[in-house]
């Protein structure tokens, strides 16, 4: 016997029961767990493989400082030596440079078609004619000004030699102004001019006819043949520095916005210079860099232009024999570097978005599964409150998510993904913590809108991949586009998938650049960076987490947020108040059914005196489904009044579609009544369903079981919900299992999905009866005899409503029966009463060959004029004979007579069965409905 002293389960007992059930359930779902966990592992491994491919590419000789095999000692054995001298331009960037090479300083020369010529904008007559552009022979221009034009002229004259043909010795270049129109690069270990294949220019006052010659220069220890072209340098005087400025300004664009080129080599303003004071300002283009190269840093060829002015002044002071030689220029020494490219960080954003977000459909489908299978409501009916359900479910999914994320981060760190190792773990923790909370809340919210696991799962995964792809191929471009309004980025981030993407994107950016520059990734201090969106993402996600959780909770409770406002002004309805309000509803009680009328009067009476002997009282219960797609509204239950005393089993009979299921659904809280109400143990189903659940056992028509839990685990769970503990729990579970014949042969420890239909049915009954709930509402088992025993045994202290199609079952089990057709109770009473009332007749059956059918009819007519043929099929006929007009002896006599006249295959005389009553009542009610 179950221990009856236990009260309702406490919050923590319920929470404990649910937690144990969830853990068992999770343990069973091995395949899902493995799939879930292996996804991030596979992605991480994939990243590591990709990264290794990239690294091996970077480790190839062409991406590293060049090396060569040199026979140093002359012993025929070569040693590998690496360095600048063995590298090409690409390789050189990574070489250690202990002794930087020396370079001939060069001037920056405008390209031939971009040199200053005369034009409508710049009308200086001393500029060359535009026609020189066609031949590519335009001179290059140097501009001069100063306070003393005489002095300026002298200095300008000293700047360049008239004509000079260098010979192949490098030293001689110190006297020649060499320049190049190639672009510069980030570093000056190798001036790109010498390796570019472009010609060098020698700037001279005059060029001879054959002004191209070649020289050999020493580039990284090897002799390189360079072509040197002579280019004429024009020294032009301008009256003021404002004029120079004006010419530079106009020449810069020349009215053509596409043209962004500096036209002159350099311009000098000698200011107030005199023999005692050298004061000069120099214009040059300081941003002459390789724009297509993409780097923002470019070294400029400026030193030579400064040297030219100084040299000219020195010669003015000391005479042409004196020279300030500018022999070479060289970069600072540097250590070797390694090219790093952490591709895994860049790819990581998309991959990790998928990894993190894939928990969403998992949680969502688990929640929808419980809803679809009606398990949630089942648990509620067994006393599981909303509080423990929410707390445990939330904590449970949070733990699952947290373990998942932990595995993910640990695994990623162990295999060395920079994404994890470089960024501060505490930031990662905060970010993931907030996000998974938000995600679980969202899953709870979304679960309210799905009723089908498959739809939810499919949409969930579409959401996963869609978010990742949209993030990677749309959102990221907006992030990188600095001109995209930041406000819109924030609007995007209101969608949680994008805020996740943004956060991961920031991590990847920091780990990428951290790896590239060999520094740290994101630190707390970096959250203040103007480019760093992490802080805004954290704020958005935290706020959404709280909001979504609140909304989800309210929707789960079936309330709009206005609920609490409404509740404030509304008093709880009581028995008495309700019965006073409903006087008008009496009008609808049909007068032609005295038993039904009597029942509803009893209900009236009971409501006024609130009698505790009655477990269930239905008070004019109505259910109307609104019309859809142009169909009229469906009246499923049209006003049901019913009073069931303790210990009664009430059988509700009715054809399909009569409204039985609607009635039961209302009683167990699956749907709300449209009007009227019912009281279970004095509690109103409209408002106190939660209280009712603690005292009700429901065995629903369909088995509401977890596929992967065993019978015993089901009973343990529901037993705990009923506050059974320790030995009384084990005992109750065993009793239950035995009572429904599931105890022997290890059946109890098989998973429910392996059960046959009958076993599931029996388990459902056991669940509904465990923990000895008081009244048992809604029992509809498609059951066999052994179930009947269970029901009979357990009805002593409760009321049972049984809806069934089996008349036999109803007659055996039920104390009273009601026949329910088209939403109305047609009659009510015990089986005998009903038979007496509706079956005041015998049923006479006779089977003959079809040729004698008429003889049989005559025989019956002879017995009574009021016989009624109710059935006829190829020789077999059934008649109803009114009891008060027929004597049984007469029937036997008539049959004997008939037997002598023709062959009678079979015959029978029976008292009315319940089935006959049922058919009669149902037909009658339906005919009435057709007429009305």
Ligand X SMILES: *[C@@H]1O[C@H](CO)[C@@H](O)[C@H](O)[C@H]1NC(C)=O
Residues forming the site for ligand X (CB under 6 A): 148, 150-151, 167, 172, 183, 185, 192, 239, 252, 260-262, 271-272, 275, 277, 279, 285, 287-288, 290, 292-293
CB of 366 to ligand X, least distance (A): 53
Q: Determine what percent of the chain falls in helix, strand and coil, rounding each to the nearest 5.
A: 50, 15, 35
Max intra-chain CA distance, the chain = 164
- Which residues does residue 219 pair with via DSSP β-bridges, in sequence order? 222
Q: Which residues sit opposite 616 in a β-bridge?
A: 644, 680
Please tell me the distance from the alpha carbon of residue 463 to that of residue 479, in angstroms, as a whole number: 21
Token pair for residue 920? Answer: 């009669």
Q: Give 268's strand partners.
A: 144, 282
Q: Which is nearer to ligand X, 158 or 439 (CB)?
A: 158
Cβ closest to ligand X, residue 143 vs residue 821: 143
C-alpha distance from residue 170 to each of 53, 178, 180, 210, 362 (Å): 45, 12, 17, 21, 75
Smallest separation, CB 243 to ligand X (Å): 7
Contact 84, 220 (CB under 8 A): yes
| H-helix segments, 557-628 | 563-568, 575-581, 594-609
Q: How far is the CB of 561 from ligand X (least distance, A)?
A: 59
d(CA 912, CA 906): 19
Give the residue from 254, 248, 253, 209 showing the smallest Cα distance to 232: 209
Nearer to ligand X, 290 or 731 (CB): 290
DSSP 589: S
HEC-encoded secondary structure of 61-116 = HHHCCCEEEECCCCCCCCEEEECHHHCCHHHHCCCCECCCCCECCCEECCCHHHCC
3-state secondary structure of 802: strand
Burial class (CB in 10 A: 0-12, 13-18, 19+), 320: exposed
Specify the residue, 288 or 352, whose C-beta has the smaller distance to ligand X: 288
For ligand X, give the closer residue by CB, 288 or 396: 288
How many angstroms separate the CA atoms of 850 and 834, rounded? Answer: 34
Which residue is associated with the tokens 């399909």? 656
Cβ 152 to ligand X, closest distance in Å?
A: 9
In this complex, which beta carbon is closest to ligand X, that of residue 58 or of residue 195?
195
Beta pairing, strands 816-821 & 649-653: parallel
Pick 234 or 541: Cβ nearer ligand X: 234
How far apart CA 401 and CA 640 sit, in angstroms, is 49
Considering the complex, what minimum distance in angstroms separates the CB of residue 99 from ligand X? 22
Q: Can you tell me the distance from the alpha carbon of 93 to that of 73, in angstroms, rounded to the nearest whole number?
A: 29
Instruction: Pull the structure tokens for residue 222.
Output: 């090897």
User: Is 235 in a helix, a strand, or coil?
Assistant: strand
Identity of the residue, 149 or 451, whose beta carbon is nearer to ligand X in the bound complex: 149
Closest distance to ligand X from the beta carbon of 91 (Å): 13
- Match 């029942």 to its residue by tokens: 599
Task: For ligand X, give the closer residue by CB, 322 or 903.
Answer: 322
Q: Which is nearer to ligand X, 301 or 852 (CB)?
A: 301
8 A C-beta contact, residue 636 and residue 659: yes
Q: How far is the CB of 300 from ligand X (least distance, A)?
A: 9
The CB-of-277 to ligand X minimum distance in angstroms stands at 5
Q: How far is the CB of 483 from ligand X (least distance, A)?
A: 20
Q: In degrees to the nearest 10, what's the CA dihedral of 297, 298, 303, 304?
A: 180
Residue placing its CB nearer to ligand X in the complex, 137 or 245: 245
3-state secondary structure 815-849: CEEEEEECCEEEEEECHHHHHHHHCCEEEEEEEEC
92-128 burial: b if 16+ Cβ within 10 Å, else e? bbbbebeebbebbbbbbbbebebbbbeeeebeeeebb
Sheet (strand 904-911) strand order? 868-873, 876-882, 841-848, 904-911
Element (H, E) at 219: strand 212-219
- Shortest spacing between CB 97 and ligand X, in angstroms: 17
Give min distance, CB of 37 to ligand X, in A: 45
Closest CB to ligand X among 191 and 809?
191
Q: How far is the CB of 38 from ligand X (least distance, A)?
A: 43
SS3 of 657-706: the string is CCCHHHHHHHHCCCCCCCEEEEEECCEECCCCHHHHHHCCEEECCCCCCC
Residues in the chain: 932
- In the bound state with ligand X, the residue whose beta carbon lies nearer, of 172 and 903, is 172
- Least distance (Å) from ligand X to the CB of residue 168? 8
Considering beta carbons, is residue 257 or 931 the nearer one to ligand X?
257
Q: What is the SS3 assignment for 611? A: coil
**End-to-end CA gap in the chain:** 54
For the CB of residue 513, give the shortest distance to ligand X in the complex, in Å.
Answer: 22
Round to whole Å and give the CA distance between 655 and 919. 9
Q: Which is nearer to ligand X, 93 or 589 (CB)?
A: 93
What the block records as the tokens of 125 is: 């007559």
Pick 279 or 929: Cβ nearer ligand X: 279
Least separation in angstroms between CB 227 and ligand X: 18
Least distance in Å: CB of 302 to ligand X?
12
Closest to ligand X by CB, 97 vs 359, is 97
Least distance in angstroms from the C-beta of 164 to ligand X: 10
Q: How far is the CB of 252 from ligand X (least distance, A)?
A: 5
Residue 129 or 239 with smaller CB distance to ligand X? 239
């Amino acid at each position: 016997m179950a221990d009856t002293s236990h009260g309702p389960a406490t919050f923590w007992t319920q929470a404990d029961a649910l937690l144990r059930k969830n853990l068992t359930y999770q343990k069973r779902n091995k395949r899902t767990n493995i799939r879930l966990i292996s996804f991030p592992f596979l992605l991480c491994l994939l990243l590591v493989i990709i990264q290794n491919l990239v690294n091996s590419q970077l480790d190839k000789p062409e991406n590293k400082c060049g090396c060569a095999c040199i026979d140093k000692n002359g012993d025929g054995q070569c040693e590998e030596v690496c360095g600048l001298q063995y590298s090409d331009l690409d390789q050189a960037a990574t070489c250690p440079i202990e002794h930087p090479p020396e370079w001939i300083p060069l001037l920056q020369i405008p390209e031939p078609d971009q040199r200053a010529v005369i034009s409508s904008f710049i009308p200086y007559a001393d500029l060359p004619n535009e026609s020189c552009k066609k031949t590519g022979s335009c001179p290059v221009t140097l501009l001069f000004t100063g306070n003393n034009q005489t002095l300026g002229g002298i200095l300008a004259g000293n700047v360049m030699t008239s004509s000079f043909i260098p010979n192949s010795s490098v030293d001689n270049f110190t006297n020649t102004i060499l320049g190049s129109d190639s672009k510069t690069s980030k570093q000056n270990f190798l001036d790109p001019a010498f390796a570019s294949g472009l010609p060098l220019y020698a700037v001279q006052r005059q060029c001879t006819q054959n002004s191209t010659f070649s020289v050999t220069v020493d580039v990284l220890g090897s002799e390189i043949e360079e072509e040197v072209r002579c280019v004429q340098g024009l020294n032009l005087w301008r009256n003021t520095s404002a004029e120079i400025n004006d010419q530079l300004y106009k020449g810069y664009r020349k009215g053509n916005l596409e043209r962004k080129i500096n036209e002159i080599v350099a311009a000098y303003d000698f200011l107030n210079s005199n023999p005692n004071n050298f004061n000069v300002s120099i214009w040059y283009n300081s941003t002459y860099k390789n724009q297509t190269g993409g780097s923002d840093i470019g070294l400029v060829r400026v030193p030579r232009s400064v040297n030219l002015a100084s040299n000219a002044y020195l010669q003015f002071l000391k005479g042409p024999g004196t020279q300030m030689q500018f022999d070479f220029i060289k970069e600072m020494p540097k250590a070797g570097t390694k090219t790093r490219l952490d591709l895994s960080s860049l790819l990581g954003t998309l991959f990790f978005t998928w990894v993190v977000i894939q928990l969403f459909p998992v949680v969502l489908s688990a929640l929808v599964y419980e809803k679809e299978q009606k398990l949630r409501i089942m648990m509620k009916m067994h006393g599981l409150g909303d509080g423990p359900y929410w707390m445990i479910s939330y904590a449970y999914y949070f733990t699952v998510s947290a373990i998942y994320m932990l595995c993910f981060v640990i695994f990623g760190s162990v295999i060395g993904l920079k994404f994890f190792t470089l960024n501060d773990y505490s930031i990662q923790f905060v970010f993931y913590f907030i996000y998974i909370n938000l995600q679980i809340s969202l899953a709870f919210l979304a679960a309210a809108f799905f009723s089908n696991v498959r739809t939810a799962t499919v949409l969930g995964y579409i959401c996963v991949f869609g978010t990742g792809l949209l993030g990677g191929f749309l959102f990221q471009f907006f992030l990188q586009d600095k001109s995209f309004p930041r406000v819109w980025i924030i609007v995007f981030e209101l969608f949680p998938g994008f805020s996740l993407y943004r956060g991961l994107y920031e991590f990847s950016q920091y780990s990428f650049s951290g790896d590239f520059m060999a520094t740290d990734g994101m630190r707390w201090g970096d959250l203040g960076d103007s480019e760093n969106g992490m802080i805004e993402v954290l704020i958005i996600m935290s706020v959404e987490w709280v909001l979504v959780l609140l909304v989800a909770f309210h929707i789960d409770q079936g309330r709009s947020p206005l609920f609490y406002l409404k509740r404030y002004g509304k008093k709880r309805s009581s028995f008495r108040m309700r019965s006073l309000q409903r006087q008008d509803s009496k009008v609808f009680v049909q007068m032609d059914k005295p038993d039904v009328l009597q029942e509803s009067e009893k209900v009236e009476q009971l409501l006024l005196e609130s009698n505790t002997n009655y477990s269930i009282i239905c008070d004019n219960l109505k259910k109307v489904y609104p019309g859809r797609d142009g169909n009229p509204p469906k009246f499923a239950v049209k006003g049901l009044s019913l009073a069931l005393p303790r210990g009664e089993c009430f059988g509700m009979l009715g054809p399909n579609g009569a409204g039985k299921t609607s009635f039961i659904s209302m009683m167990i809280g699956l749907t709300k009544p449209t009007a009227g109400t019912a009281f279970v143990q004095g509690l109103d189903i409209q408002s106190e369903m939660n209280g009712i659940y603690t005292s009700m056992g429901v065995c629903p028509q369909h088995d509401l079981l977890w596929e992967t839990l065993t019978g015993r685990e089901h009973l343990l769970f529901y037993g705990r919900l009923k506050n059974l503990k320790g030995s009384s729990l084990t005992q109750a579970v065993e009793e239950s299992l035995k009572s429904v014949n599931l105890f022997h042969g290890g059946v109890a420890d098989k998973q429910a999905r392996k059960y046959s239909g009958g076993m599931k049915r029996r388990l459902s009954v056991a669940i509904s009866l465990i923990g000895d709930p008081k009244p048992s509402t809604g029992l509809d088992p498609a059951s066999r005899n052994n179930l009947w025993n269970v029901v009979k045994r357990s009805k002593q202290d409760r009321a049972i409503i049984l809806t069934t199609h089996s008349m036999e079952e109803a007659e055996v089990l039920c104390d009273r029966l009601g026949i329910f057709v088209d939403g109305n109770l047609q009659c009510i009473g015990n089986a005998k009463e009903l038979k007496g009332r509706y079956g005041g007749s015998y049923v006479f059956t006779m089977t003959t060959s079809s040729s004698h059918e008429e003889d049989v009819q005559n025989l019956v007519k002879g017995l009574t004029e009021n016989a009624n043929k109710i059935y006829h099929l190829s020789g077999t006929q059934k008649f109803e004979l009114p009891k008060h007009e027929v004597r049984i002896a007469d029937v036997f006599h008539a049959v004997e007579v008939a037997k002598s006249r023709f062959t009678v295959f079979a015959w029978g005389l029976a008292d009315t069965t319940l089935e006959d009553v049922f058919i009669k009542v149902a037909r009658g009610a339906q005919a009435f409905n057709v007429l009305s």
